Structure 1
Amino acid sequence: MRQRSTAALLLLCLYLSSTLTLNAQQPTASPNASAQNSQAQNTATDQNDPVARIKDEGLNRSQVMQTLQHLTDVIGPRLTASPQMKLANTWTRDKLTEWGLQNAHLEAWGPFGRGWTLQRFNAQVVAPQNIPLVAYPKAWSPGTNGVLTGDVVYVDAKDENDLQRFKGKLRGAIVLTSPPRELKARFEPLGTRLTEKELLELADAPDPAQRPTARRPTPEQLAQFQAIQKFAAARLQFFTDEGAALLVDPSRGGDGGTLFVQSASVAQPFDVPRDKRTSAWDKNAKVISQIVVASEHYNRMTRMIGAGEKLRMAVDIAVQFNDDDPMGYNTVAEIPGTDLKDELVMLGGHMDSWHAGTGATDNAAGVAVSMEAVRILKTLNLQPRRTIRIALWSGEEQGLFGSRAYVAEHFGTLVTNPTTAPGATAQSTLQKKPDYEKLSAYFNLDNGTGRIRGVYLQGNEAVRPLFRQWLAPFREMGAQTLTISNTGGTDHLSFDAIGLPGFQFIQDEIEYDTRTHHSNQDVYDRIQADDMKQAAVIMAAFIYNTAMRDERLPRKPQRAN
């Protein structure tokens, strides 16, 4: 009996063990996925509810990832004024037309300057040993006219006087421009979502109009900041005057092969006003070839030089400058309205990107979501009262150029008045265009791949009750937070600057600042598909609700100028 009982017990244990193992191997749905699955199952039951239909179409028959894949994998990086940017303009115009939108066209702005295309690149240390480098040229950097091989000089000068140690030693050299960046172990995840505490802090944020004026820097702080700027400008001018052949910067952030890279720098005095500065894309800009190297490789080179090693590098940069058309372009298309067709609701995001990745999270994600939102509305034949206009901007990365030009052309411009006395605050006057009073709102998406968690009200308290009602159907999908706070850095600011309602959605961070924003890792693989679907249905619902109201969205009170 004991033997049989023992055998039976062993068999029972084996059965339970295998059952537990099989259960452990089954994928566990995330809270986000569970909520979306629940929504997808429930939306099919009420076909009289436009929002339910939007959710059903957007979650169960989404095309957002196909759109995003074409923009990133097929077209690739979309630097402003580059051939890839213009290809993206025409492809999105044609796709929107295919989906049934009307008046799809490219709208020019500018002139901007030269386009730039990287044709070939390779960088490595060739002596005293071969070290292939993780690196990337800066945008608008000139090429090297074949393989450039030269001595590596590490300029570790601390101030302008210290630069004189290197006078006469940089002609034809490859220059390491900056101190190494310390890399520490990461004990926090690269990818995060907004916590309940962070969302509560956003919800409880004070009205930006009531905040005390930001404290001005002390004279000592201002002097220190200007000294840093002045030395950086003097150092770049020194490299230019001394005839350096190539400048090598460490990545400003990232590790493990991630590097962040943007535009080449142009030597000029540090105190030139912003609107008078020469940019790398200006046709007559004089620019030294420049690359960014992953910090691990850059740091090693500085240590080797410090140990007495004589380094030589071989770098091959082949580029093409595109001078045939100095203009930038926005893609614009419409779903015509009915009884309020002369009024507008707008949505969009910037389509231009930096060049080291494929501009997936910044900002093919926002473009694909915006396009998916209008596709959903057209597919469902949800006819809006107001005309819905989608705009996909270029020139955002260089300073919101595309959206600012569009707003100035269609809605209005702030014109600065001459000051009445030295030191007086400049006053400005809003010169409105006829369409200024016709726009209800503009909705923007440009904070990466993260799902929408709510809306920045941009100081417009009057829209809170409306937006709270519109977010209610998406509470189980994680979107319920409204914050009176402003947020910046993207194209809704062009509308907000002249008093028009412009909104950016609150999004989960995911890996935006830690891994993808302006980096070589900003690629399709870092996109979260479920988050994109969720964002598209919320944007579609907000656009539809705005288009169907009897009144335009309320505008916030204007500050006196």
Structure 2
Amino acid sequence: MRNLKPILLSGLLFVGSVGLANNNDSLIVSGIVKEATENSHLEKLAHELVDGIGPRLVGTPQMTQAKDWAIKKYNEWGIPARMETWGEWRGWERGATHIDMISPRVKSLEGMQLAWSPGTKGKSVTAETIIIADQPDSISFQQWLPAVKGKFVLISMNQPTGRPDYNWEEYATKDSFEKMKKNRAAQSEAWRKRISKTGLSNKDLARALEKAGAAGIILSNWSSGFGVNKIFGANTTKIPTVDIALEDYGMLYRLTESGIRPVISIRADSKELGVVPTFNTIAEIKGSEKPEEYVLLSAHFDSWDGGTGATDNATGTIVMMEAMRILKKIYPNPRRTIMVGHWGSEEQGLNGSRAFVEDHPEIVSNIQAVFNQDNGTGRVVNLAGQGFLHSYDYLGRWLSKVPENIRKEIETRFPGTPGGGGSDYASFVAVGAPAFSLSSLSWSYGSYTWHTNRDTYDKIVFDDVRSNAILTAILVYMACEEKEKTSREKAVLPLNPVTGKQMEWPAQRKANRKGGLD
């Protein structure tokens, strides 16, 4: 009995410490949930960022405004924040775009210039339209090129329908739906061959049309939904490139094809701003016990600028900002340092996060976990281990503290396979840091908001975003409190089903630190 006393005493102390830890976890978790639900800043943050500042294309004044706004917000919450420059980019600022058909009748057309498109120097350019010719080979195409002089060139296929497939499936007969899909596939293949026979890449084709004296380039990059187009970047350097909505583009195409020769007028205002710095926005809450170890919140700050970048990636941005705000209030003295990275130029190849990984090996080598969010407004429904063999252990424990109504939605896959791209978590996975994507429910993201002209505030589902902020804050808290440093041991990867060879861990890729200047 005398020998059992120390054992019993140590056992009671252990049980007591576990009980205190569990109780503390419950207090922190309930505090996070209460603050997120009763004092949410999400709607205000989204309004100020999405409506007030707008899209955040790399190299634009709006990206700089967003950085200044975020730093000010963090400082108001008592969280030190800073800008970290990592490269430079072509500076450009969007202006208004006016597109009108003036013959055979007058009609204002829905459309906009592409990112980095040259402007029309404060004037309207008026010209006929011409469809890019279907020539038998590249030599014949070069012989045809002079025909574009002084004309707006239509370079996109005329879509046979502006109705998305789900609308056809609901209302059409089966035969009619199948017929439409078959005809569309044949038309798409024919158009692919038409462009291929020019012998030019998309970039070289735009430059060739420009060199031949075209007044401008017109395309329509339909996103397979009602009224929605994807808006990317221009490849011209002197003449405007504009995207026109499917409905108006189809009308122009049909009129041109039937020989009516429509005339349109385009005024595209934009400014070239020279070479400007690119940067990340960083904020951190210093750790009290292990300040040299980091739990990293991650979301890219930049966007394309067809809409206002609401679900790609203002939602991910405000989730991380709200999580930081809540943690500073409820958990002000974290065991490890909590850092948030709002990355620049993710859309051009994860450049901001790749630059951070290159520039901060001392941080990357001491990362406890990275949580990244970047695929729309939906609540998180997937969390994979990214190929880290023991991720099931610590992620499973951390998730167990998340309220059941949030946790039950999340499907986990362990150990999973490492992501080689797609979003900024991949920059960290490539160098062996445990980084995880908080992957969201779709809400028709791929068709309706991803890189489109409809990615706007009204598409945000705040109940889902609030759920994600709670989830993130709890995971960060648990990662900070974890006694041991997380394991970086990698799983043996499976065979690639396409090649039959064993998959390899993704290689680290360099950031493009000088973009848009060629």
On the 8 A contact 1:121/1:318 being kept in 2, the answer is: yes
The equivalent of 2:333 in structure 1 is 383
TM-score by length of 1: 0.74
Give distance in 1, aligned partners of 2:409 and 2:24: 21
Change (3 A) 1:295 1:554: same
The equivalent of 1:523 in structure 2 is 456
The equivalent of 1:152 in structure 2 is 129
Give distance in 1, aligned partners of 2:486 and 2:198: 43
**Is residue 298 of structure 2 the alignment partner of residue 368 of structure 1?**
no
Change (3 A) 1:404 1:525: same
Select 1:120's aligned residue among 76, 86, 96: 96
TM-score by length of 2: 0.80
Give how far 1:162 is off: 4.6
Aligned partner letter, 1:320: K
Select 1:460's aligned residue among 372, 382, 388: 388
The equivalent of 2:472 in structure 1 is 539
Alignment of 1:185-204 (within 5 A): 185-186=163-164, 188=166
Aligned partner letter, 2:213: G
Give how far 1:373 is off: 0.5
Change (3 A) 1:526 1:498: same
On the 8 A contact 1:341/1:386 being kept in 2, the answer is: yes
Deviations 1:263-299 (A, max 9, x none): 1125xxxxxxxxxxxxxxxxxxx35310111112111
Give how far 1:435 is off: 3.3
Aligned partner letter, 1:178: S
Change (3 A) 1:310 1:226: closer
Give distance in 2, aligned partners of 1:332 and 1:229: 46
Give distance in 1, aligned partners of 2:365 and 2:25: 34
**Is residue 344 of structure 2 the alignment partner of residue 394 of structure 1?**
yes
On the 8 A contact 2:285/2:332 being kept in 1, the answer is: no
Give distance in 1, aligned partners of 2:315 and 2:363: 29
Change (3 A) 1:306 1:556: same
Select 1:501's aligned residue among 434, 451, 454: 434
On the 8 A contact 1:59/1:534 being kept in 2, the answer is: no
Give how far 1:47 is off: 8.8
The equivalent of 1:308 in structure 2 is 259
Give distance in 2, aligned partners of 1:296 and 1:134: 9
Give distance in 2, aligned partners of 1:306 and 1:518: 30
The equivalent of 1:30 in structure 2 is none
Aligned partner letter, 1:299: G
**Is residue 425 of structure 2 the alignment partner of residue 475 of structure 1?**
no
Alignment of 1:260-299 (within 5 A): 260-265=230-235, 286-299=237-250
On the 8 A contact 2:311/2:460 being kept in 1, the answer is: yes
Give distance in 2, aligned partners of 1:450 and 1:253: 19
Change (3 A) 1:436 1:381: closer
The equivalent of 2:34 in structure 1 is 56
The equivalent of 1:347 in structure 2 is 297
Deviations 1:502-549 (A, max 9, x none): 111121001211201111110000000100100000000111111111
Give distance in 1, aligned partners of 2:325 and 2:230: 34
Deviations 1:388-414 (A, max 9, x none): 001111111111111111110002xxx
Give distance in 1, aligned partners of 2:47 and 2:57: 17
Give distance in 2, aligned partners of 1:228 and 1:360: 38
Give distance in 1, aligned partners of 2:84 and 2:223: 36
Change (3 A) 1:229 1:242: closer
Structure 1 vs Structure 2 CA RMSD = 2.4
Give how far 1:237 is off: 4.0
Aligned partner letter, 1:122: H
Q: Which runs of 5+ in 1 are unaligned?
A: 1-44, 191-223, 267-285, 412-433
Deviations 1:160-210 (A, max 9, x none): 2452463322122111112212326336389xxxxxxxxxxxxxxxxxxxx
The equivalent of 2:85 in structure 1 is 108
On the 8 A contact 1:170/1:242 being kept in 2, the answer is: yes
On the 8 A contact 2:28/2:331 being kept in 1, the answer is: no
On the 8 A contact 1:248/1:290 being kept in 2, the answer is: yes
Matched residue of 1:461: which SS? coil
Alignment of 1:37-436 (within 5 A): 48-102=26-80, 104-111=81-88, 113-145=89-121, 146-158=123-135, 159-164=137-142, 166-183=144-161, 185-186=163-164, 188=166, 230-233=199-202, 235-265=205-235, 286-323=237-274, 326-411=276-361, 434-436=362-364
Give how far 1:468 is off: 2.2
On the 8 A contact 1:181/1:250 being kept in 2, the answer is: no
Give distance in 1, aligned partners of 2:469 and 2:100: 43
Aligned partner letter, 2:405: E
Matched residue of 2:163: which SS? coil
Give distance in 2, aligned partners of 1:486 and 1:406: 19
Give distance in 2, aligned partners of 1:497 and 1:463: 16
Give distance in 2, aligned partners of 1:189 and 1:55: 39
Give distance in 2, aligned partners of 1:372 and 1:225: 50
**% identical equivalent positions:** 31
Give distance in 1, aligned partners of 2:319 and 2:97: 33
Change (3 A) 1:308 1:239: same
Matched residue of 2:146: which SS? coil
Deviations 1:249-272 (A, max 9, x none): 112424432221011125xxxxxx
Give how far 1:455 is off: 1.1
Give distance in 2, aligned partners of 1:437 and 1:312: 60
Change (3 A) 1:384 1:231: same
On the 8 A contact 2:97/2:111 being kept in 1, the answer is: no
Deviations 1:75-121 (A, max 9, x none): 1111112111001001101101111112x11000102x222111221
Give how far 1:475 is off: 3.3
Aligned partner letter, 1:243: G
Give distance in 2, aligned partners of 1:555 and 1:226: 47
Give distance in 2, aligned partners of 1:294 and 1:443: 37
Matched residue of 2:365: which SS? helix
On the 8 A contact 1:156/1:177 being kept in 2, the answer is: no
